[in-house]
Amino acid sequence: MSAQNSIPEQARLVIIGAGPGGYAAAFKAAELGLEVTLVDPEANPGGVCLHRGCIPSKALLHVAKLVEEAGEAADIGVTFAAPTIDVDRVRAWKDEVIGKLTGGLGTKVTQENLTYVRGMARFKDAKTLEVTGIDGATGDMAFEQAIVATGSRPMMLPGVESGDRIIDSTGALALADVPDSLLVVGGGYIGLELGSAYAALGSKVSVVEMTQGLLPGCDRDLVSVLKRRLDHKFEAIMLSTKVAGLKEQKKTVKVTLEDKKGQTSELRFDRVLVSIGRRPNTGNLGLENTPVELDDHGFVKVDGQRRTAAPHIFAIGDIAGEPMLAHKAYAEAHVAAEAAAGRPAVYDPRAIPAVVFTDPEIAWCGLTETEARAQKIKVKTAKLPWRGVGRTLTLGREDGITKLIVDPESERILGVAVAGPGAGELIAEGVLAMEMAAVAEDLRKTIHPHPTLSETLYETAEMLFKG
Ligand code: FAD
């Protein structure tokens, strides 16, 4: 059918939110023959991921990679002039990338069995939505089944409002300009990715993180590979330090920092990017008018098919819990769509990869060493530093590590982690190995192409069988 602004009175399956969860569920359900109505305020589907998340951040990180590699090429005898950055063109290119992807999805929602409604939906009760179109007109929509995929939004520091100088990830990705100095509040993956992009574009970037290390939750040996490089890229990385105050002034932001001893200091930055986490979009959804339940963190409680406490209402993606990642939303979307179509389906992944797209990248799946320690799980670990590996030398990048975590009895692979350029691509092999219940021997016996970084996975498996 088509994209439309009028609000249908009936829906067989309504999907609220057209991010990676919502649009993937819509396409799958339509393919399975269900009549689908997809509701989202944006002109085209895409959600946070395509409009203001995964895709624009990776586009900017690609620009960063070009700038940095050109700068480092002098070490191997190729010298480029210092880059001239045309911010308007960079922004336009990033927007073109977004436009191509979301435009493609916009065309796809005109397929048979699909109706795309631009608007915001709210539950009046467990069988009726009130939809407010972007023109302000409202209408009730009775539905048989619903999939809630309203995603998440950035958290702000208490009492602080975003503005011209205090921005969140959405503001940073808009790339209004390249500030001389930027403070990133929060050393998680979003802050480090965006901080890296701005540093390459020319900002003096500092990071402040409340806990003792960057990327809380990630194994420290992986983080230290990244930190060594970020220490050169960033002006300062202030750990165990809190932001006690932020005040937007005419030309700068006055930041009060408090270290672990309680001592305060004041610094000024042109811009402050607050990236301290994300919170699920459950407010203003009228969920209280339905039996749907939330957990203590504000996520919708779901079962293995992503059904909520009201079995005809499903929830997927960021709103349905950690990890808040697009590929987790896609996987849940397919399960929920199949379950809505009456097919047997369950969400039960062995491993969900996590990738930090910094330089070097960090990627892992399955059990981490940190989790094994905390949960007192006995594991055998092999770690291969990338120094001296053929492919890493030919790339001029020996700053990496590949790690395998296996069960000491069965040698079944429990976790895989990689820090180094290309880690995000390499981890897919680890995910497949885990889904196939591979043992270390399988990885060791698999012939890997030479010379590639993937050989580090096989070589790490090999280490488990030595002495
Ligand atoms: P979303 O993408 O958040 O989409 C929800 C949609 O619902 C939105 O379009 C919203 O407008 C709409 N909506 C909300 N309320 C209503 C309502 N009441 N009625 C109708 N529509 C509504 N993940 C990765 O896997 N890899 C990455 O590299 C990555 N990088 C990221 C970088 C940044 C800067 C950010 C912010 C996020 C990144 N993420 C990444 C996370 C990823 O974007 C999310 O996990 C993903 O978008 C979640 O998909 P979703 O479908 O749950 O919701």
Residues 182-193: pLDDT tens digits? 999 999 999 999
Tokens (6 digits) for 179: 């500030």
Rounded to whole angstroms, the Cα distance separating 155 from 161 reads 10
Q: Are 147 and 22 in contact (CB under 8 A)?
A: yes
The pLDDT score that the predictor gives to residue 309 is 98
- CA–centroid distance, 152 to ligand 1, in Å, is 6
Beta bridge partners of 207: 184, 237
Rounded to whole angstroms, the Cα distance separating 286 from 65 reads 44
Q: Are 146 and 314 in contact (CB under 8 A)?
A: yes
Question: In whole angstroms, how far apart are CA 239 and each of 186, 192, 206, 210?
Answer: 10, 13, 11, 6
Rounded to whole angstroms, the Cα distance separating 90 from 227 reads 27
Tokens (6 digits) for 90: 């960079």
> Strands 138-148, 10-16: parallel, antiparallel or unpaired by DSSP?
parallel
- CA–centroid distance, 147 to ligand 1, in Å, is 15
Res. 115 pLDDT band, cuts 50 70 90:
very high
Rounded to whole angstroms, the Cα distance separating 217 from 220 reads 9
Q: Report whether pLDDT(1) > 50.
A: no
- CA–centroid distance, 131 to ligand 1, in Å, is 20
Look at the block and give the residue holding tokens 């895709």.
55
Instruction: Check if 418 has its Cβ closer than 6 Å to any atom of ligand 1.
Output: no
Is 450 one of the annotated active-site residues of the chain?
A: yes
Q: Report whether pLDDT(2) > 60.
A: no
As a whole number, mean pLDDT of residues 261-289 equals 97
Index of the ligand 1 atom closest to the CA of residue 45: 9
CB contact burial 80-106 (16+ within 10 A = b; e otherwise): eeeeeeeeeebbeebeebbeebbeebb
> What structural domains and CATH numbers belong to the chain?
3-53+90-154+279-340 (3.50.50.60), 166-276 (3.50.50.60), 354-463 (3.30.390.30)
Q: Report whether pLDDT(92) > 90.
A: yes
Q: Which of 297, 312, 334, 450 is catalytic?
A: 450
Index of the ligand 1 atom closest to the CA of residue 46: 9
As a whole number, mean pLDDT of residues 314-320 equals 98
Instruction: Name the pTM for this structure.
Output: 0.97
Rounded to whole angstroms, the Cα distance separating 22 from 4 reads 17
The pLDDT score that the predictor gives to residue 185 is 98
**Angle (nearest 5°) at CA 405 between 400 and 407:** 165
Beta bridge partners of 37: 14, 115
Q: Are 149 and 17 in contact (CB under 8 A)?
A: yes
Cis peptide, bond prior to residue 311, ω within 30 of zero? no
Q: Are 278 and 154 in contact (CB under 8 A)?
A: yes
Index of the ligand 1 atom closest to the CA of residue 39: 20
Q: Report whether pLDDT(105) > 60.
A: yes
Ligand 1 atom 12 nearest Cα: 17
As a whole number, mean pLDDT of residues 175-186 equals 98
Ligand 1 atom 27 nearest Cα: 54
Q: Give the three-state DSSP class for 312.
A: coil
201-253, pLDDT tens digit by residue?
Answer: 999 999 999 999 999 999 999 999 999 999 999 999 999 999 999 999 989 99
The pLDDT score that the predictor gives to residue 4 is 59
The pLDDT mean for the chain works out to 96
Rounded to whole angstroms, the Cα distance separating 326 from 53 reads 10
Q: How many separate helices (H) and strands (E) can be counted in the chain?
A: 13, 22
Index of the ligand 1 atom closest to the CA of residue 319: 52
Instruction: Check if 120 has its Cβ closer than 6 Å to any atom of ligand 1.
Output: yes
The pLDDT score that the predictor gives to residue 112 is 82
As a whole number, mean pLDDT of residues 363-387 equals 97
As a whole number, mean pLDDT of residues 434-439 equals 98
Q: Which of 328, 300, 324 is nearest to 190 (CA)?
A: 324
69-87, pLDDT tens digit by residue?
Answer: 999 999 999 999 999 999 9
Sequence letter at residue 21: G
As a whole number, mean pLDDT of residues 255-281 equals 97
Q: Report whether pLDDT(3) > 60.
A: no
Sequence letter at residue 444: R
As a whole number, mean pLDDT of residues 89-93 equals 98
Instruction: Check if 421 has its Cβ closer than 6 Å to any atom of ligand 1.
Output: no
The pLDDT score that the predictor gives to residue 65 is 97
- CA–centroid distance, 419 to ligand 1, in Å, is 26
Res. 467 pLDDT band, cuts 50 70 90:
low
Mutation test residue for ligand 1: of 7, 23, 44, 49, the one with most atoms within 8 Å of CB: 49
- CA–centroid distance, 52 to ligand 1, in Å, is 8
Index of the ligand 1 atom closest to the CA of residue 24: 51
φ/ψ of 410, rounded to 5, equals -85, -15
Q: Are 19 and 54 in contact (CB under 8 A)?
A: no
Percent of the chain with pLDDT over 70: 99
Where do runs of H (alpha helix) occur along 295-439? 326-340, 369-374, 390-394, 423-435
Q: Report whether pLDDT(93) > 70.
A: yes
